[in-house]
A and B are shown apart, each in its own frame.
Chain A
């Protein structure tokens, strides 16, 4: 009962949806200020979701059942990630062994659900988007996992979020060391790609493939996808805070850290042009992977 409650309400669905939609508003507002505009009011993303719930849902002719199941799959797994992360912040000792690995697995599922949904929608532009999303997943997962491995080695080989937090509260944040700082930079770049933000948003490029993977979605499934994106925008910075800046996670410190990470991501988004998909793959497999290997080497030698 307690577990169900925490999945549905507090660190889980309701809380992460509200926090995610608010961080989406921060994204839109900061983007607007960068472009010298005023930007939307704080409740704009809530309004968007409510509006999408009231719209007609169109299923393209010949689409499979996965067209409607894929968005739910992504949302459910992502809410599970948000629950695990939230609970490990509240109760560092309450986690189970290996929950970091579970989180890493579950974080790929939203991207997979996008690929499945786009392939089920029978639209040529959607399949272009799906293939780009697939390549992007292949590109960023390698350096991201290298960065996480650097953190694991740094925290003495533990694969439990609570123990990583404990280690950091005893020996200082991971970001304060050379290997941790290097891994943090890599993780920010990978977070950018995971969120589908601008240098790496070839999968849903609005101007060239018209929304790409989301092109055939309307109404409720589109709302679920938008909500998934929003929760991802809350979950990824939270994971980075746990992995790299976990020395003191009281409420008055975690909120500035969260907003700082968010603003870094948004500023990268607003000051860069879109990369072609081959450029992103080449970028991720060269520089961040190399940096990741260096970070692991530094972590092994104790720096």
Chain B
């Protein structure tokens, strides 16, 4: 297998983009780094700057105020970079669908590679999602 692709899937640095979330998904994401789940075993790290990112973890309802910011942050990330939508809000706007300040779901704005549903999704669900994404990347592309 391609060495570069293998290294990419074995060391995913995640930028946590919280776009007006209610904090519930964010707490579950931080659970992944705690001793019970510890995704650093697979080389997954949370990093501070989007320039270091391999994956963009988007949570929350994307509203009219955050659409330009989300686009800007995706443009700042070095490619190849995958986008992961976490939680029902990022997937389908959930119960805010008819709200006045919400226009379109995340996958109309960015090319989303992985959807993790749930309100909030369990850490197990996120790990299962990451495994599916990694197998998809290794087979395809």
Residues of chain A having any CB pair with chain B under 8 Å: 28, 32, 35-41, 44, 47-48, 50-51, 53-58, 206-207, 209-211, 214-219, 222
Chain B: interface residue total (CB-CB under 8 A): 23
Contacting residue for A207 out of B35, B48, B76, CB 8 A: B48
State whether B11 touches A51 (Cβ < 8 A): yes
**Shortest Cβ distance from B133 into chain A, in angstroms?**
16
Contacting residue for A39 out of B40, B51, B54, CB 8 A: B40
B41 contacts across to A, CB distance below 8 A? 37-41
List 7 A-B residue pairs with CB atoms under 8 Å apart, sorted by A's residue number.
Answer: A32-B38, A37-B34, A47-B10, A48-B43, A56-B79, A216-B49, A222-B52
Closest 7 CB pairs of A and B: A210-B48, A54-B4, A50-B7, A56-B78, A51-B7, A218-B51, A211-B49
The residue on A at minimum CB distance from B75 is: A58
Most chain A CB atoms below 10 A, which of B42, B48, B79: B48
A214 contacts across to B, CB distance below 8 A? 49, 52
Q: Is B114 an interface residue (CB 8 A)?
A: no
B40 contacts across to A, CB distance below 8 A? 28, 32, 37-40
Question: How far apart are the CA atoms of A214 and B40 in the complex, in Å?
Answer: 21
Q: Is B140 an interface residue (CB 8 A)?
A: no
Most chain A CB atoms below 10 A, which of B10, B35, B51, B78: B51
State whether A44 touches B43 (Cβ < 8 A): yes
Residues of chain B having any CB pair with chain A under 8 Å: 3-4, 7-8, 10-11, 34-35, 38, 40-43, 47-49, 51-52, 54, 76, 78-80
A210 contacts across to B, CB distance below 8 A? 48-49
Contacting residue for A44 out of B8, B11, B48, CB 8 A: B11
Question: How far apart are the CA atoms of A38 and B8 in the complex, in Å?
Answer: 21
State whether A40 touches B43 (Cβ < 8 A): yes
A206 contacts across to B, CB distance below 8 A? 47-48
State whether A57 touches B48 (Cβ < 8 A): no
B51 contacts across to A, CB distance below 8 A? 58, 215-218, 222
The residue on A at minimum CB distance from B53 is: A218
**Shortest Cβ distance from A279 into chain B, in angstroms?**
21
**Shortest Cβ distance from B10 into chain A, in angstroms?**
5
A58 contacts across to B, CB distance below 8 A? 51, 76, 78
State whether B78 touches A219 (Cβ < 8 A): yes
Known: A32-B38, A215-B51. A57 touches B78 (CB 8 A): yes
